[in-house]
Structures are given as C-alpha cells and as structure tokens.
C-alpha cells in the first residue's frame, strides 16, 4: 500500500491498484473521472477510451467507457478484458471516439448526478454534420453494484 510520500515507482509495484485495458490499442484511459456513480457513498471510477473498437471489436475507434464501482475490497488488479468492470458503454459508430471525455454532474437538479460522456467525432443528427461531435447524458439514479 502506497503512502503518497516520497516517490511511487510503479515498476517496483508501489501502486495499490492496476487497471488493464480490454484490448490492444484501446489507449486506456484517454480520460477518467472519479465520482460516486451508484450513490453508495464510496467513490467510483469512470474510464473512457475513445480509440476502442466497441463490442466484439467491430466498430473501429467507436470508443468505450467503463464504470468500476468502488468498494473496501477492490482487487489490486482489474482487467477490463475479463469483466472487472461493473458497467460498459459503447460508441454507436466507427470513428465516433465515444469516451474521449467523461464526467458527472447534477444537470437536472434532482439531487442525483448524471454521467456525461463525449463522442468528439460523431456526425450529428442523421449523420448530417460530419465531425460535429455529441455529448451524451446518462441517468445514474438506481445504478447498483
């Protein structure tokens, strides 16, 4: 367990937790955010990877985002390839770069934060605006571990 003093050398194994991306060239994590997604009072992590290839690797650079719920007994090694995540989200089309930015905020004032995921290269309504980008807001109320 690291104590955040001096130097932490990940080559020496000084980190507490390591998370591995699901596939080669996913570039985990091009972005990340820490929030209490499921409202249990424990911080969770949202990881975005805009270069991932979606379900079954069939959508080149469609992007993906993952939520890992925090807990007191979180494993020291988490591997997204074998399902170490609690929620997986996938970009709609090849080249969308879904998950290039992620965040949370109470956007509707209901006291529950929504997850925000950016897809920077989407093509807008009916694909009529090439590269316009889109921001998706996803309700998290009722998310469970």
For the chain, the domains span 27-70+86-138
E-state strands within 1-128: 18-20, 31-35, 44-49, 64-68, 77-79, 87-90, 98-105, 114-119
Positions in the chain whose pLDDT score sits under 70: 1-5, 142-145
Phi and psi at residue 142, to the nearest 5°: 90, 0
CA separation for the pair 89, 22 (Å, rounded): 13
Contact status, residue 77 vs residue 20, Cβ threshold 8 Å: yes
- pLDDT for 27-55, tens place per residue? 997 799 999 999 899 999 999 999 999 99
Name the pTM for this structure: 0.89
From the list 70, 49, 92, the residue with the least C-alpha distance to 143 is 70
CA 87 to chain centroid? 9
């Amino acid at each position: 367990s690291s104590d955040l003093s001096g130097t932490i050398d990940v080559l020496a194994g000084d980190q507490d937790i390591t998370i591995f991306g699901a596939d080669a060239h996913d570039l985990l994590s091009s972005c990340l955010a820490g929030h209490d997604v499921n409202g249990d009072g424990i911080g969770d992590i949202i990881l975005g990877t805009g270069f991932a290839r979606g379900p079954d690797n069939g959508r080149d650079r469609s992007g993906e985002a993952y939520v890992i719920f925090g807990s007191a007994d979180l494993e020291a090694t988490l591997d997204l390839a074998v399902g170490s995540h609690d929620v997986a989200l996938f970009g709609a089309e090849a080249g969308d770069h879904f998950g290039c930015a992620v965040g949370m905020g109470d956007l509707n004032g209901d006291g529950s934060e929504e997850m925000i995921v950016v897809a920077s290269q989407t093509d807008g309504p009916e694909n009529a605006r090439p590269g316009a980008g889109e921001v998706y807001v996803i309700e998290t109320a009722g998310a469970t571990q």
